[in-house]
Amino acid sequence: MSSMTTNDVQVAVIGAGFSGLGAAIKLKQNGFDDFVLLDRGQNFGGTWRDNTYPGAACDVPSQLYSYSFALNPNWTRSYGHQPEIHQYINDVADKYGIGAKTRWGSEVTHAEWNEDQARWIIDVTRDGTSEQYRAQILVGGVGPLCEPNLPDIDGIDSFGGKIVHSARWDNDYDFTGKRVAVIGTGASAIQLVPEVAKVAAHVDVYQRTAPWIVPRTERAYRPAENWAFKHVPGVQKVMRAAVYGLNEVTALGLTYAPNALKPVELACRTNISKAITDPELKDKVTPKFAVGCKRILRSNNWYPTLARPNVDLITDGISKITGSSVVSNDGTEREVDVIVVATGFHVTDSPVFEAIVGADGRSLAQVWAGTGMQGYKGTFIHGFPNLALMVGPSTGLGHTSMVYMIESQLNYLVDYLKQVREKGLTRVDVKASAQDEYNKGIQHALRNSVWENGGCASWYKDANGNITTLWPGFTFNFRRITRKFDIAAYDVERAT
Ligand code: N01
Q: What is the pLDDT of residues 268-278, one digit of tens each?
A: 999 999 999 99
Which residues have CB under 6 Å of ligand 1? 57-59, 145, 151, 153, 166, 183-189, 191, 206, 208-209, 295, 318, 342-344, 457, 459
Whole-angstrom distance, CA of residue 327 vs CA of residue 331: 6
Distance 182 CA to ligand 1 centre (A): 12
| 344-368: pLDDT as tens digits | 999 999 999 999 999 999 999 999 9
Quick one: average pLDDT of 108-129?
A: 96
Q: Note the pLDDT of residue 260.
A: 87
pLDDT of 12 above 60: yes
Q: Which atom of ligand 1 is nearest to the CA of 153?
A: 41
Best residue among 51, 147, 188 to mutate for probing ligand 1's pocket (most ligand atoms within 8 Å of CB) is: 188
Residues facing residue 429 across a β-bridge: 491
Q: Which atom of ligand 1 is nearest to the CA of 58?
A: 45
Distance 350 CA to ligand 1 centre (A): 15
Q: Note the pLDDT of residue 259.
A: 85
Distance 217 CA to ligand 1 centre (A): 21
pLDDT of 491 above 50: yes
| 185-219: pLDDT as tens digits | 999 999 999 999 999 999 999 999 999 999 999 99
**Residue 234 banded pLDDT, cuts 50, 70, 90:** very high
Quick one: average pLDDT of 170-184?
A: 98
Q: Which atom of ligand 1 is nearest to the CA of 167?
A: 9
Burial of 248 (0-12, 13-18, 19+ CB in 10 A): middle
Q: Note the pLDDT of residue 1.
A: 43
Residue with the smallest CA separation from ligand 1 atom 35 is 343
Q: What is the ipTM of this complex?
A: 0.99
Q: Which atom of ligand 1 is nearest to the CA of 166?
A: 9
Q: Which atom of ligand 1 is nearest to the CA of 317?
A: 11
Residue 320's nearest CA partner among 308, 331, 305 is 331
- What average pLDDT does the chain have? 97
Best residue among 49, 60, 145, 153 to mutate for probing ligand 1's pocket (most ligand atoms within 8 Å of CB) is: 145
| 449-468: pLDDT as tens digits | 999 999 999 999 999 999 99
CB 353 within 8 A of CB 462: no
Q: Which atom of ligand 1 is nearest to the CA of 56?
A: 33
Q: Note the pLDDT of residue 342.
A: 98
Delimit the domains of the chain by residue range.
5-44+98-147+346-431+469-494, 150-218+231-343
Quick one: average pLDDT of 122-132?
A: 95
DSSP 8-state symbol, 145: S
pTM over 0.90, yes/no: yes
CB 35 within 8 A of CB 9: yes
CB 203 within 8 A of CB 342: no
Residue with the smallest CA separation from ligand 1 atom 16 is 187
Q: Note the pLDDT of residue 3.
A: 64
pLDDT of 68 above 60: yes
| 317-336: pLDDT as tens digits | 999 999 999 999 999 999 99
Q: Which atom of ligand 1 is nearest to the CA of 151?
A: 41
SS3 content of the chain, % helix, strand, coil (to 5): 35, 25, 40
**Residue 253 banded pLDDT, cuts 50, 70, 90:** confident
Distance 194 CA to ligand 1 centre (A): 16
Distance 8 CA to ligand 1 centre (A): 40
Asked: is 5-44+98-147+346-431+469-494 a CATH 3.50.50.60 domain? The reply is yes
Whole-angstrom distance, CA of residue 203 vs CA of residue 209: 18
Distance 187 CA to ligand 1 centre (A): 6
Kindly state the percentage of the chain with pLDDT values over 90: 95
Asked: is 150-218+231-343 a CATH 3.40.630.10 domain? The reply is no
* Shared fold status for 5-44+98-147+346-431+469-494 and 150-218+231-343: yes
Whole-angstrom distance, CA of residue 367 vs CA of residue 389: 15
Residue with the smallest CA separation from ligand 1 atom 24 is 187
Residue 60's nearest CA partner among 216, 261, 213 is 216
Quick one: average pLDDT of 160-175?
A: 98
Residue 70's nearest CA partner among 89, 87, 84, 83 is 89
